[in-house]
Chains A and B, each alone.
Chain A
Amino acid sequence: MSDEVQVTVTVNGRRREARLEPRRLLVDYLRHDLGLTGAHIGCEQGVCGACTVLLDGRTARSCLHFAVAVDGSDIRTVEDLADLDELHPIQEMFHQKHALQCGFCTPGFLLTTVELLERTADPDEAAIREALMNNVCRCTGYANIVDAVAEAAVELRRRSPT
């Protein structure tokens, strides 16, 4: 189409160029053009957080951004957290603490946790609950997620003592 716009972004460390319709949502670009289906669409209303990605290091709802509007940004998705052999410590703690059931909300919670623990190495329970309050999970009842985040904080501090 003639009204397509050139976009260049870095996604999970890799430079990507595309010509996109201005209205193409970032989440659709990631999921359906790049095959990064870890960000999920739960509402497209900016409420559920299932589509959360890291945009220049900050959590963002990829359902609320047009892909062309994030031209030049650095994007990190859930697919970037683990390496082939090992889960990221946050993921590992979600596993250990049974912090996921259907797993649909989980990528959003993981990336929200990445942001939280980058800012606050040792959050208390209230801070964790506050940080997670804009992500909705309908399966777990949150308690195990809160535990997993607390344990992940311990593990990350153990790995890189300041």
Chain B
Amino acid sequence: MSVDQNGAVGQSVLRREDDYLLRGQGRFVDDLPTPLSTLHLAFVLSPYAHARITSIDASEALALDGVVDVLTGADLAAMVKPIAAQIELPGYSFNTRDVLAVDEVRFAGEAVAVVVAESPYLAEDGMELVQVDYESLPAITDIHAATDPAAPQVNPTVPGNVYFEGRFATEGVAAGFEAAAHVITEDFHSKRVTAVPIEPRGCLAVPEQPSNLVFYSSTQIHHLLRTALAEFLDVAESNLRVVVPDVGGGFGIKAALYPEEFVCAALALRLRRPVKWIQDRYGALLTDVHARDNHYRVEAAINDDGIVLALRAEIRTNGGAYSALPFGCTLETTGGARMIVGPYRITEYEYTATAVATHTAPVLAYRGVAQPVCFMAIEGIMDRIARRLELDPAEVRLRNMVPTAELPWTNIVGVRYDTGSFVESLELAMEMAGYDEFRAGQAQGRLVDGKYRGIGICSFTEVSGTGAPGWRARGLTRLPGFDSGTVKVEPTGKVTAFVSHAHSGQGHFTTFAQVVADALGARLEDVTVVEGDTAAGPYGTNTFASRSAVTGGGALIRASEKARLKLARIAAFMLESTPEDIVVSDGQMHVAGVPSRTLSFQEVAETAYAMNTSDLPEGESFGIEETDFYDPPLVTMANATHIAQVAVDAGDGTVDIEGYVVVHDCGRVINPMIVDGQVMGGVAQGVGEALMEEFVYDEDGQVRTATLIDYLLPSSVDVPNFQIAHIESPSIDTVGGFKGVGEGGLIGAVPALVNAVADALSDLDVNVNTKPLRPALLSRLIREAGG
């Protein structure tokens, strides 16, 4: 049997999602019709970072017409077990979180009570009337001060405020440093950010038979959420259904499991009424998971050619006040430690990686996880090697990279790079950016027309599509890696494909249809994709960490192949041929060499569903509905090079991005238009992270950035135009050859921009080793350097 048709995969098919979204008919969680009996929640958030709750008086709130109840931590503790991430790493300090704080609050924004009311307005009125008395306690927010012996203890089960310390060393590290002609050492500082999807979080819990509860949530991980609700609420998982409506951006922060979800579900079950909660922006900024409050000290032993002989990294990540579900506070820690080696031939490596507890919001996944920072560090080191040895930064990278001819290659921490284009992507990016011409121009001086001009490179590997072994290597033993697909050919010959993912803007209805059309031999327009519903299709790990193309695509290809085989067996029986001789093409089937006698999918399906007078072949079951699962390898490694050109104003320190090039390699591309969209959106977030965004706590742990006026997001005048090119090195380790692309834009942008600014200012005696690089900081550095 063979498939013979023009592939849908590889085409920039326009999105099916667009029409209804453009008409304003998207169904985000706050748009869902709610039963009239719906109750609404408002959470009372602690203004203190660390305090004892001495009393909560809800009498005034309860006296308000329309306020149904006010519940505190103790009330919820009777309904929901303390939630906890399961991390199996040696030395990890297990810790739990009450869904509403009991007795003590550990970060500003932690919820201490919830108001249940007949409308959102009344819930908010009630919230303002709840009187909470706190006894303020000393708080610690700084990543280094947290482990001072005198520092206040954040969590009783996290001694010394160290959640986890991981160590790794190869044998020859010391020898590498002894043999070194130079040692380059640098500290890299990364400030805290948060993802800020424009849709805040929300959920709607509707008690409904025959399940006990249908739970709508703006989550990226519906199956994991359902399992967690079952575990921590102690209800039968089979009586819960989690549905993901349209989601207005996730970027990883919606791949966390949040207290509000457990509270909302518990109250709906208890009160036997629908319960709805929609977050406001203040709550989003304070309580969504944060990211990137990291410090890296990196030492590189190099020879006179700029080749890295050995690398040491001391990594410290701020995990916040609790280890958040499901990935835990070690996500950035183990991530940075394992990914920093990037595309380079690092053969001797040592790390210490520490996750610390502070009185700040929990830290979990944000697009790129540790990678924007660990590559800011290693790519910063590459530039420092170049400056020390007076080599070109591109040349230093080329000398250290693993060349394509040496792939597959297994890096020093055991991650296999099956295919890739490290050298080629850098060379192509240099050509597109006019790199050599730019450098020639710089030779006349970097300061022209009052602006320092610089160019920055980031060449990197991009973790995507992680399988169960990849999670286990990071202590996440309860996190699966597989996803599932079910492909159903309906009696009319139309195709419904179920996949265990949930979209938040990625265009899954379009891209997965492309994958299924090709694998099944169906017409693209006949394939409909269904996802984001635990009642539709089997279990999966869901949508985060650049997984969906790899895991969902792989599962759907496998399921489609099974369905195609069944179609072929039935068609062969009907055409008195053999399945091997059946050719499938554009929803039609014929015997090879006899294209005149064709059967449509509908004609074959009618036989499968006993809707005509044909018999099924002996032993064949009814229907055409096939399921399969796909767990990718340890890690699926994509790669890319970003090159940024910037102009730093010598007076006010503002940064203009004058050119931006991306050469990306995510293996086989399903839809180039959508891949470009992912890249551009990621770079925009990287522009924010590198130049503007910082979530600020003051010394007492109070929030200074509680609105979008204080927490700056990049707008249309901050983000440049892009030049994007693709190299396709299909994965040989994954089904379909796909690699992920969701995070690369952001990962590459932060180091490329930081390096570009550093390059622009490299004639001055300033050290650019932090982000964000805001005008005030840069103008001060320039001034201090006498520039």
B-contacting residues of A (Cβ < 8 Å)? 21, 23-24, 31, 36-45, 47-48, 50, 77-79, 81-82, 87, 91, 94-96, 98, 100-107, 110, 128-130, 132-146
Contact = CB atoms under 8 A, between A and B. Distances in A.
B693 to A, nearest CB: 11
A137 to B, nearest CB: 7
A100 B198 contact: no
B248 interface: yes
Interface string B193-205: 0011111100000
B681 A96 contact: no
Nearest to A24: B121
Interface size bucket, B side? 35 or more
Contact of B717 (A21, A36, A130): A130
Interface of B: 14-15, 17-19, 21-28, 30-31, 121, 195-200, 246-249, 251, 278, 280-281, 504-507, 673-674, 676-677, 679-685, 707-709, 713, 715-717, 719-722, 745
Contacts of B674: 98
Contact of A50 (B198, B247, B504, B684): B198
Contacts of B673: 98
A103 B281 contact: no
A101 B506 contact: yes
A102 B248 contact: yes
Contacts, number: 177
B505 A91 contact: no
B198 A105 contact: yes
A48 to B, nearest CB: 6
Given A102-B249, A142-B716, A145-B716, A44 B22 contact: no
Contacts of B200: 41-42
B24 A141 contact: no
A44 B505 CA distance: 22
A2 B21 CA distance: 38
Nearest to B706: A45
Contacts of A23: 121
Given A43-B281, A138-B196, A104 B681 contact: no
B680 A140 contact: yes
Contacts of B17: 103
Contacts of B24: 36-39, 77-79, 107
A96 B21 CA distance: 14
A14 to B, nearest CB: 15
Nearest to B673: A98
Contact of B26 (A31, A48, A104, A142): A104
Contacts of B506: 101
Nearest to B688: A138
A133 B22 contact: no
B22 A139 contact: no
B716 A104 contact: no
B247 to A, nearest CB: 7
B715 A133 contact: yes
Given A44-B280, A102-B504, A138-B713, A96 B14 contact: yes
28 contacts: A21-B121, A31-B30, A38-B26, A39-B24, A40-B248, A41-B278, A42-B198, A43-B708, A45-B281, A45-B707, A45-B708, A47-B708, A48-B198, A77-B24, A98-B673, A98-B677, A101-B505, A102-B198, A102-B246, A102-B249, A103-B21, A103-B248, A135-B715, A139-B198, A139-B677, A140-B677, A140-B684, A142-B715
B716 A132 contact: yes
B715 A134 contact: yes
Contacts of A130: 716-717
Contacts of B196: 138
Of B507, B684, B716, most A-chain CB atoms within 10 Å: B716
A105 B677 CA distance: 15
Contact of B251 (A45, A96, A138): A138
A113 B504 CA distance: 24
B231 to A, nearest CB: 30
A77 B24 CA distance: 9
Nearest to A145: B716
Contacts of A36: 24
A146 B197 CA distance: 20
A47 B685 CA distance: 17
A2 to B, nearest CB: 12
A139 B249 contact: yes
A23 B247 CA distance: 28
Of B14, B19, B22, most A-chain CB atoms within 10 Å: B22
Contact of B23 (A82, A128, A137): A82
Contacts of A104: 26, 28, 197-199, 246, 248-249
